[in-house]
Chain A
Amino acid sequence: MKNKWIKATGIILAISLLAAGCGQSGTANSKQGESEANKEAAEEESVKGSEEKDGGKKESVTLTVEASQEIVNNIPYAFSEENIAAFEKEYPEIKVELVLNPDAQNTSILQTKLASGQPSDLICYNKVSAENELEVAKNCVDLSAEPFVENIADKEILTAPDGKIYGFAFEVKTGGMGVVYNRDLFEEKGLEVPKTYDEFLSICEKLSGEGITPFYGPFKDVWTFQMWTTSTWGYYVAQFEPDLWDRLNANEIGWDEVPAFRESLEKAYNLYKDGYMQSTVLSDDYNSITAAMGSKEYAMTVGSNTTVRDLLNAHPDIKFDMFPYPVYEGEEEYLTISQLDAEFFIPKDAKHIEEAKTFLNFMARPEQCDRAQAAASFVPNVKGAKEPEFDDFEGRLYEEYNKTGKTVLEMNAYMKVDLNDLWVYFQDMFAGVKTPEEVLTSWDAAFEELMKAKGIENF
């Protein structure tokens, strides 16, 4: 008899101590009791948690919005605190909580949670990337019939390849990518914005002669150099071979069979090899741009509107601006537009789908767009919303490129697979492990594998 006693006490003791460790006390004496106690503890805990936050309202719902740190920093208008406060005021029973993930782990965390049926109520992600990496068509709610769709000015850009609308984004994308440069430094040295590659090189030569490193390469991060290729390759295809993306995606042509791709890579690599970039390109990350470009030791770097805006904020005494990559000889340059970013999706497994829809319908009203302009200016995609008041450089880019139609969509917007392998090969190129040609042959092989794994035809 005593033996059984010992057994039972042992288990009870361990389990109750375990439960006590979580600030709960539970009594349980069987396996089933254990899981019940756990459940109870979890419930108590969540009730306690929401009580603390909402001052005792039991029915309140916490709506979770999950995004990466980067997207929240870069697209502040999508996460305007004033908008969230206004929403919580109109719907006092709903509380909005942001779940922020470290950039490097964001995709993995979102995918894991989607696959295991535990996603947040809303996910904010770049449109094309979400279609490929998060399988929006499979994992998220079709919102085509939601009231907010009627408010959208341009439905086309929100529409997924299958013709449905899975999310909402505030903006009609106008922001682009290009060469970010120190305009004061250019003026001081009497330099003009280069229109051709030759002009670009002669600027580099001149700056270099004056002890300034012309181009700052922050390529320790794997995603930074690709801004060069997604822009220049995107430009080349749009201008010269408009069906090239389709042909690459249908396996009709290989990446190593496009000489223009290699040309752009070689031109970038030569800048580095000829000493027009700092020797430590693989040691310096994107974050280091702020200090480097503020030091006046560098004149240009890769980047986007966000980069320019951040630089202007960090160094209010210096003027920074952006121009298109002048890579292909003698052609008129177009500004590269990035894929639509910061689109909000509702996962099918979300716990509060109705509240999430309420949230999007609320956000897609003109008042919210107007209010969000305070966080950062953007061209709203909602009927009746105010036009943005762009500051200096964004206004000029908007007038000069967007309004005249001199824009092209970046390459990444056409891709169906993850491009990380390609980006890694770019680093190999700067490390001297692969030539530009080898980058393209390796990528061609990796691309084929990835497309095959996705089950895409012809691969």
Chain B
Amino acid sequence: MRRTGHIYTYWLTIPALLLFGIFFVGPSVYSIYYSLTDWVIGKDSVSFIGLENYRTIFGSDELTHAIYNTFLYAVIVVIGKNVNGLLLALAVNTKMRLQGYFRVIFFLPCVISTIIIGLVFVPVLHPNGILNEFLGNIGLGFLQQGWLVDTKIVMVSIAGVSIWQWSGYHMVIYLAGLQGIPDSYYEAAKIDGATALQSFFGITFPMLAPAFNINMLLSLIGGLKVFSEPYALTNGGPGNASQVIALEVFSKFGRGQWGLGTALNVTLAIFVSVISIPVLYLMRKREVEE
């Protein structure tokens, strides 16, 4: 009755692999082929055109602008969500009466659909909306903006709404990191006469690295794949000022330009992979070394 092989046979992965492989990866791989064709609605034959669609993407002002917007947005949300998330986590990690309340409230927006959040923020961010009114009332009238119509700041506003919604999510992950740091470390530092700031950079910051990595990864992937936020807030407007890649994919599909839309989708997947897989690899590598 001696067993052969490992206890955890690879067969256990089969249900997940089958479902994921057949219904998700399969169609995606299939679509790579379409990204190399001139597939549009109404054409009787689909012909292979090589990299022509990709040339179109990088040759088009509109689409390169959407790519630029996507990266701009990703950078803003990665910084915003992580800084906010970390600060909130540090604050909420202090023992205080309302600790539980804060954690719940800060996380609350994450469970609500982005479409709903978007519909609520549209009137809030209207030039005559409550945000500008509030700024005027507290004497910060100079900060009033056409949040979603000024082509120069519209991406920042959209990122702002997303930071508003998701900071709590990242807070929770940082919170976990913080709670994993043994108190004895701080006590030892205190005995050595370290200041609060010194122990933050000496202990907290390095010990938070795993939480930091995962937060970077999640916010980066989410930032690059962004769709719902601009879709609900501006639908890419005014004009093309807040177009992002995923939204362009959607509108290309909506106009029957399937070949081009698929190519754009593949481009997005490549961007996200090239950026996030190395991050994940480094994370895993360091973990093994530990």
Are A428 and B15 interface neighbours, CB within 8 A? no
Are B41 and A135 interface neighbours, CB within 8 A? yes
Q: State A138–B236 Cα separation when bound (angstroms).
A: 32
Query: Looking at the complex, which of A207-215, A364-372, A417-425 is the stretch in contact with chain B?
Result: A417-425
Is A69 an interface residue, CB under 8 A from the partner? no
Is B169 an interface residue, CB under 8 A from the partner? no
Asked, given contacts A10-B11, A282-B149, A283-B149, whether A425 binds B256 with beta carbons under 8 Å apart, the answer is no
Interface set, chain B 232-290, CB cutoff 8 A to A: 235-241, 250-251, 253-258
Are B238 and A282 interface neighbours, CB within 8 A? yes
Asked, given contacts A283-B148, A431-B238, whether A11 binds B15 with beta carbons under 8 Å apart, the answer is yes
Asked, given contacts A280-B128, A283-B127, A453-B40, whether A7 binds B9 with beta carbons under 8 Å apart, the answer is yes
Are A108 and B253 interface neighbours, CB within 8 A? yes
Is A32 an interface residue, CB under 8 A from the partner? no
Are B238 and A427 interface neighbours, CB within 8 A? yes
Map CB proximity to A onto B26-49 as digits: 1 under 8 Å, 0 otherwise.
Answer: 000000000000101111100000
SS class, residues of chain B in contact with chain A = loop
What chain A residues lie within 8 Å of B42 (beta carbons)? 135, 138, 454
Is B218 an interface residue, CB under 8 A from the partner? no
What chain A residues lie within 8 Å of B5 (beta carbons)? 3
What chain B residues lie within 8 Å of A105 (beta carbons)? 254
Interface set, chain A 4-24, CB cutoff 8 A to B: 6-7, 10-11, 14-15, 18
Is B3 an interface residue, CB under 8 A from the partner? yes
Is A430 an interface residue, CB under 8 A from the partner? yes
Is B105 an interface residue, CB under 8 A from the partner? no
* A residues contacting the other copy or chain, number (CB 8 A): 41
Map CB proximity to B onto A121-147 as digits: 1 under 8 Å, 0 otherwise.
Answer: 000000000000111001000000000
Interface set, chain A 388-425, CB cutoff 8 A to B: 418, 420, 424-425
Are B239 and A420 interface neighbours, CB within 8 A? no
Is A239 an interface residue, CB under 8 A from the partner? no
Map CB proximity to A onto B116-149 as digits: 1 under 8 Å, 0 otherwise.
Answer: 0000000000111000000000000000001011
What chain A residues lie within 8 Å of B11 (beta carbons)? 6-7, 10-11
Are B237 and A220 interface neighbours, CB within 8 A? yes
Asked, given contacts A3-B5, A427-B239, whether A11 binds B41 with beta carbons under 8 Å apart, the answer is no
Is A190 an interface residue, CB under 8 A from the partner? no
Is B151 an interface residue, CB under 8 A from the partner? yes
What chain A residues lie within 8 Å of B253 (beta carbons)? 108, 111-112
- Select one of B3, B237, B257 contacting A222, CB under 8 A: B237
Is B113 an interface residue, CB under 8 A from the partner? no
Are B257 and A431 interface neighbours, CB within 8 A? no
Q: A104-B235, A431-B239 are known; give 11 further A-B pairs, CB within 8 A.
A: A3-B5, A10-B12, A220-B149, A220-B238, A280-B126, A282-B238, A283-B148, A424-B237, A431-B238, A432-B151, A434-B239
Instruction: Give 6 CB contacts A-B under 8 Å.
Output: A2-B3, A7-B11, A115-B41, A280-B149, A283-B127, A453-B40
By a beta-carbon cutoff of 8 Å, the part of chain B in contact with chain A is: 3-5, 9, 11-12, 14-15, 38, 40-44, 126-128, 146, 148-149, 151, 235-241, 250-251, 253-258
By a beta-carbon cutoff of 8 Å, the part of chain A in contact with chain B is: 2-3, 6-7, 10-11, 14-15, 18, 104-105, 107-108, 111-112, 115, 133-135, 138, 220, 222, 279-280, 282-284, 418, 420, 424-425, 427-428, 430-434, 453-455
Q: Which 3 A-B pairs have CB atoms at the shortest separation, nearest pair first?
A: A14-B15, A428-B239, A108-B254
